[in-house]
A and B are shown apart, each in its own frame.
Chain A
Amino acid sequence: MEHGLGIAWKSVSKTYNDGTVAVNNVSVTADEHRTLALVGSSGSGKTTLLQMVNRMVTPNSGTVLIQGQDNQGMNPVTLRRSIGYVLQNGGLLPNKTVLDNIATVPVLQGTRRKDARVHALELLDEVGLEKSIQNRYPSELSGGQQQRVGVARALAANPEILLMDEPFAAVDPIVRRNLQDELLRLQSEIGKTIVFVTHDIDEAFYLGDKVALLRPGGTLAQVGTARELIDHPADSFVASFINAGCLRSELQ
């Protein structure tokens, strides 16, 4: 990793108002142009960590550095427009067509709607969708198509960083594998800094250049490549989390 680039969480903690400790003193980095997979069961704080990057969540303590800059000093609206975000259900705006959904962020940034649509049409192709669906509304798409549109929208403003929050969790296994392969292909072309949240250790190993495994209660269990985690699990928690995943994929 080139020093200081990418995203660095420095001793961040977050306790929500209801007293839930989501993240407890986590330090981890997402290297530039690489994919960091944040994996853990529910309540392990992975989504909270992800949302600290675009300031949807503010840590109670610690800092998040983006390209070496503390993101607390950045304007949240500008920051969010500069970061691609893909959600589980696609997070598409139901009242906009496919093309206008993809064009959303460039238009917010001041690109002329006509130009943004032309670019959106190119992106449809890039994420493997037919141009014929451009004027449909999200409710007229399949789950897999919605996710692809979600990815296209996240890429539209050509962000350096892509945040993906369990983007493929709601689609069936075959479509999911398809989308994962396409993401790998796309990433080999565009080389974004991706933070990918998942509860599925196999998905984390498959997509992540680096995997950060979190424990319930929001502490970091281990960070490393898939190889490192499999060969040298830090403790019994890591070993059992990985084994459970392996067992599941054998059963499938």
Chain B
Amino acid sequence: MNWLILNCAQILHYALQHMLLSVFPILLGTLVAVPLARLANGFRLTRSSIYVASSVLYAIPSLPLLIFLPALLRTKILNPVNIEVALTIYAIAIMLTSASHAFLSIDPSVIHAADAMGFGAWKKFFQVELPLAGSQLLAGIRVVSVSTISLVTVGSLIGVNSLGFFFLEGYQRDFPLEIWVGIAATALIALLFDQILAICGRVLMPWNHRRVTRERSAA
């Protein structure tokens, strides 16, 4: 317990570091995967190759990737860019499949109605497809978020520190409490991000929640 109090500042520091390292891959992975999945859905061949691509990307082992990336990107091994790129690749891998499914899940009659009303392609994407795929896209982003937050810890192995530092140090010092603190803090961050995303979903997509509220109030 003493350890916890004495190292409070360091825990907070690494927690903050952890969050900063997580945000970028979640956002960039989503921004890349969503339009890519929508484009690929347009053709049967590209749609099926998306599932293959995402499996292949996700199957890349993380440690070799982290060692290999500096050579490829011509970055220093300690540069946080390496871990950010690696995590973005995993985020894209997860998000591609779920985004593809999200767009396919839209009721075709609504798309038909939008076409018949005279929506152009861009307006249809932003005003109809994106909002209606929204709840499934959000489900995908939530998985990406949790996965990224847990994967950030691997960065400690190559010197990009986050809460993963406590796993490494706790293991080296044979001090389980430190490992448990790292795990608990990581889980807390994952929960926090997940709740923020859920709230964003409720604010941005009120139509998904209105009827439920009504039914509850009627019951």
Chain A positions within 8 Å of B, measured between CB atoms, are: 51, 54, 56, 76-82, 85, 87, 89, 91-96, 104-105, 108, 136-137, 139-140, 153
- 1/0 contact string of B183-205 vs chain A (CB within 8 Å): 00000000000000000000001
Chain A min CB distance to B63 (Å): 43
Question: Which of A79, A80, A93, A140 interacts with B128 by CB under 8 Å?
Answer: A93
Name B118's contact: one of A78, A87, A91 (CB within 8 Å). A78
Contacts of B115 in A (CB 8 A): 56, 80
B137 nearest CB across to chain A (Å):
13
- The residue on A at minimum CB distance from B121 is A77
> Is the C-beta of B132 less than 8 angstroms from some C-beta in chain A?
yes
A114 to B120, CA, bound (A): 21
Among B112, B117, B206, find the residue whose CB has the most chain A CB atoms closer than 10 A. Answer: B117
Main secondary structure of the interface of B (DSSP, over half): helix
What is the total of A-B residue contacts with beta carbons within 8 Å?
A: 68
With a cutoff of 8 Å between Cβ atoms, the chain B residues found around residue A76 in the complex are: 118
* A81/B211 in contact, CB under 8 A: no
What is the CA–CA distance of A104 and B211 in the complex, to the nearest angstrom? 22
| Cβ contacts A to B, 5 pairs, < 8 Å | A80-B116, A81-B118, A82-B118, A92-B113, A93-B114
Asked whether B2 is an interface residue with its Cβ less than 8 Å from the other chain, the reply is: no
Asked whether, in the complex, the Cβ of B113 is within 8 Å of the Cβ of A85, the reply is yes
Given contacts A108-B123, A140-B211, contact A54 B131 (CB under 8 A): no
Q: Is the CB of A56 within 8 A of B110?
A: no
Decide: A91 near B214, CB < 8 A? Known: A80-B117, A81-B117. Answer: no
The contact string, 1 if C-beta is below 8 Å from chain A, for chain B 153-182, is: 000000000000000000000000000000
Q: Are B116 and A54 in contact (CB under 8 A)?
A: yes
- Is the C-beta of B210 less than 8 angstroms from some C-beta in chain A? yes
| Chain B 98-134 interface 0/1 with A at a Cβ cutoff of 8 Å (1 = within) | 0000000001011011111111100100011001101
Shortest CB-to-CB span from B205 to chain A, Å, is: 7
